[in-house]
Amino acid sequence: MKPDIDDYLPLAPATLHILLSLAVEPMHGYGIMQEVLRQSGGRYNLGPGTLYDNLQRLMKQRMVEEVAGPRQEGNSRRRYYRLSSLGRGVLSQELARLEDVVHEGRMRLRALKPGRA
């Protein structure tokens, strides 16, 4: 049975950042942490324990899957992860949901501004 994407929404911040990091290309754990740091402008520093706990859960939910690393990668100990089609779909739905939230929020804030009233 195909899982319902809405069951996974909304995503926790750490999950969202991890899925976003993997949206472009497969990455290893340390690369994901660096990417999350970059995405959040240095505000969200993901620790290894939190990262792999999330990856474990995401792999169980089949949103992320492990892939072989690139040939030029010298460190064979590292594991690479990528988004699955399910993960990509969940991420798309979450971003759409967030866009709605942002849109709704902006409308309400705009309505609250005194000059526009």
Partner 1 sequence: MLRWLYIQLIWLHPAPFRWRFGDDMLDDFDRAPNRVKPRYLADAVASVARQWLLRPEFRHPETTAARTQPSLETASAPLFQTIETYKPRPAALLHGGLLATLSIFTAVLLIAKGGGVTRPFLIGAHYPRSGLLPVDRNSVPGSDLNTTVNLGSDPSDAWLKLARPYFLSMPVLRALDTDRDFKLSPLEIGNAPAALRKLDTHYEGRVTAEECGLPISPNSVLAARPAQLRRQFMNYHPVLAALDADYNGEISSWEIDHAGAALKKLDLNHDGYLTAGELIPFETAVRAGLR
Q: Quick one: tokens of 117?
A: 């009233």
Does 3 bind partner 1 (CB under 8 A)? Our answer is no
- In the stretch 37-66, what mask flags binding to partner 1 with x, by CB under 8 A? --------x-xxxxxxx-xxx-xx-x--xx
**Are the C-beta atoms of 46 and 55 separated by less than 8 Å?**
no
**Could you tell me how many residues of this chain bind partner 1 (CB under 8 A)?**
29
**Are the C-beta atoms of 15 and 54 separated by less than 8 Å?**
yes
User: Strand 27-28 and strand 64-67: pairing?
Assistant: unpaired
13-21 and 85-112 helices, crossing angle to 10°: 120
Among 39, 79, 88, 93, binds partner 1 (CB under 8 A): 79
The stretch among 14-22, 69-77, 97-105, 106-114 that binds partner 1 (CB under 8 A) is 69-77
The residue (of 48 and 105) whose beta carbon lies closer to partner 1 is: 48
Does 68 bind partner 1 (CB under 8 A)? Our answer is yes
Query: E strand or H helix at 44, and its extent?
Result: none
The residue (of 1 and 112) whose beta carbon lies closer to partner 1 is: 1
78 Cα distance to chain centroid: 20
Q: Quick one: tokens of 82?
A: 């990528």
Residues at the contact surface with partner 1, assessed by CB under 8 A? 28-30, 33, 45, 47-53, 55-57, 59-60, 62, 65-69, 71, 75, 77-79, 82
